[in-house]
Structure 1
Amino acid sequence: METGQASKTAYSAARYRAAHQVLEQGSIFRDPLALRVLGADAENLEQDAPRRGMRLFIAARHRFAEDHLAAAVGRGVRTVVVLGAGLDTFAYRNPHAGLEVIEIDHPDTQAWKRERLAQAGLAVPANLRYVGIDFEKQSLGDELELDGPAFFLWLGVVPYLSEEGFGETLKFVARESGSEVAFDYAQSPERMPAERRAALEARAARVAKLGEPWLTFFEPEEIAADLEKLGFGEIEDLGPSQLAARYFDRPDVPPETPGGHVLHARRV
């Protein structure tokens, strides 16, 4: 993203979440604040109907992550860290009593978000705090202190990080036994069939023009190896086939279909 400006892809992700509330009535992921924080009305979002694939993936990744978060709270986790929060609304609809929320993002994006919250009439909860960080220039460990294990919501961020930036953040997440993380990642376009590869490369070109290019791709075996080296276990990694079967009532997607993945892991 450009210095002095909010993340444009953060707006796009928020628009997909809001459009899902309108076009699919939030059937996969319910977010009653999505339209308010976006500042859009339902009629305006009807034009997003053709972008169904990405919209459903984003809805599924939030459902997957927040389901795992709820289970972590049940195990005693009392802090959630939202990495690259953008216009994420979890902190403002948090259903878990006593759960502290820390939003991490670029200061310019955080300032923009707070303007939107004010315009939407959404108050900042007492159990929320903001920490401004540029992931490529600052260390999360230098800016954030945690007391005990935490759950890290890390959605829509990993492809925009360098491998070094991703690795350093993952090391911080792994510091505390019992900490958990949910994130999404993309497989390389080189693994895609021609039609899907063309669509992915077109999207990559669009976000690159916004100044936020995709930098990092992974294969499932690479991610699993990185996590295991850092002490993570209980890894659940859902690719297109598993996501389609669990959330879209589509058991017919071939198991080896490449694409976007969502993953949860717990530091043992």
Structure 2
Amino acid sequence: MNAVTDLLEADPPGTAPSRTALMSAAARAAHRLVDDAPLLLDDPMSEQLLGEAGTEAIGYHRLLPHEPVLAAARVSACVRQHLVEAVLAEEAPDVLVLLGAGLDTSGVRHASTGATVVELDLPTTQRWKRDALARAGVEVPPSLRWIPADLRTDDPVALLRTAGVGPEHRTLVSWLGVSMYLTARDVSRTLARLAALGPGTALVMDSLLDPGSRDDAGRRYAETVSAMAGSTGEPWLWTTSTEDLGTLLRGAGWRRATLLTEREAAGAGAWARTDTLVPGTLSTLTVATVA
């Protein structure tokens, strides 16, 4: 466990991105390097984006591919992104919104889908990411737009409107790895605002389950990660039960919502594996539509 502790406590590169964004990107990058087929997600762009900043984090996954916390991190990061990509392929939206995009590489990897990709995140993270793409020699496609935003204070829909995203667009919102760092009030308000994007809007989000809803593996992961996240300025602020989440979504205007476990989100065929990856019950994944 010392190596995992070292990884979680390591200083992030420069002033951005956050440690959690770095860890998620490293997990996505490492999955295709250390785990067996079938891949939950194939994201070579994450390793390119991270460059030297990700060498140490990815190295821990290479050194300890079967370590439970690191394996669970790869499952979590890859399954939730897998779900977004499945919905993206099925819905073929006009606009894909990455809310709190972090180091998500969808805007570069899916430039050929025809969808406009709009990233909303802190300006420091966006600057780091754009510089990192440039260092890696990755061209930013014209379909990718950047909007500086702080989800604790800004109205994402108002910002999207200024960027020309309106109710006439079929929009998919990907909101991953963010809600647990917000207060319950912020989550509720953001969900209500997103529903105002109008009919045809779809949402994929992940939510941490409350301690009583987790399995043993989820509880062990939480014990390791949550305390360290809190000690480094990124505490988990919001957890929920599936019942409360369903009520919250309906109250915010999301009329159809499907709540999925990691096992369900990746599909049954994903778990016929020869490695040690197993789905856990730490979080629930939601696919919701306004109408």
TM-score by length of 1: 0.87
Matches within 5 A, 1:138-177: 138-145=154-161, 146-147=165-166, 148-175=169-196, 176-177=198-199
Is the CA contact (8 Å cut-off) linking 2:262 and 2:285 kept in structure 1?
no
Matches within 5 A, 1:82-161: 82-94=98-110, 96-145=112-161, 146-147=165-166, 148-161=169-182
2:89 corresponds to which residue? 70
1:230 corresponds to which residue? 252
2:232 corresponds to which residue? 210
When structure 1 is superposed on structure 2, of 138-147 and 38-47 the one drifting more is: 38-47
* CA deviation profile, 1:90-139 (whole Å, cap 9, x unmatched): 11111544210000101111111111111111111111110111111222
Is structure 2 residue 25 aligned with structure 1 residue 14? yes
2:8 corresponds to which residue? none
CA distance in 2, matches of 1:80, 1:229: 24
CA distance in 1, matches of 2:155, 2:47: 33
Is structure 2 residue 69 aligned with structure 1 residue 47? no
**Equivalent AA in structure 2 for residue 158 of structure 1:** S
CA distance in 2, matches of 1:167, 1:192: 22
* CA deviation profile, 1:190-232 (whole Å, cap 9, x unmatched): 4445664243122101111221111100111111112222332
Give unpaired runs (5+ residues) of structure 1: 251-256
**Equivalent AA in structure 2 for residue 106 of structure 1:** L
CA distance in 2, matches of 1:144, 1:230: 19
**Structure 1 residue 143: deviation in Å?**
2.2
**Structure 1 residue 248: deviation in Å?**
2.0
Alpha-carbon RMSD: 2.5
CA distance in 2, matches of 1:184, 1:36: 25
1:181 corresponds to which residue? 203
CA distance in 2, matches of 1:92, 1:165: 29
Does the residue aligned with 2:44 lie in a helix, a strand or coil? coil
Q: Compared with structure 1, are the counterparts of its residues 13 and 188 closer, same or farther at alpha carbon in structure 2 (3 Å cutoff)?
A: same
Give the count of matched residue pairs.
Answer: 258
Is the CA contact (8 Å cut-off) linking 1:189 and 1:201 kept in structure 2?
no
CA distance in 2, matches of 1:262, 1:196: 14
**Structure 1 residue 244: deviation in Å?**
7.5
When structure 1 is superposed on structure 2, of 160-169 and 94-103 the one drifting more is: 94-103
Does the residue aligned with 1:242 lie in a helix, a strand or coil? helix
Give unpaired runs (5+ residues) of structure 2: 1-11, 274-279
- Structure with greater contact order relative to length (CA < 8 Å, sep ≥ 6): 2
2:271 corresponds to which residue? 248
**Equivalent AA in structure 1 for residue 26 of structure 2:** R
TM-score by length of 2: 0.80
**Equivalent AA in structure 2 for residue 16 of structure 1:** A
Does the residue aligned with 1:129 lie in a helix, a strand or coil? strand
CA distance in 2, matches of 1:264, 1:223: 12
CA distance in 1, matches of 2:36, 2:192: 38
**Structure 1 residue 25: deviation in Å?**
5.5
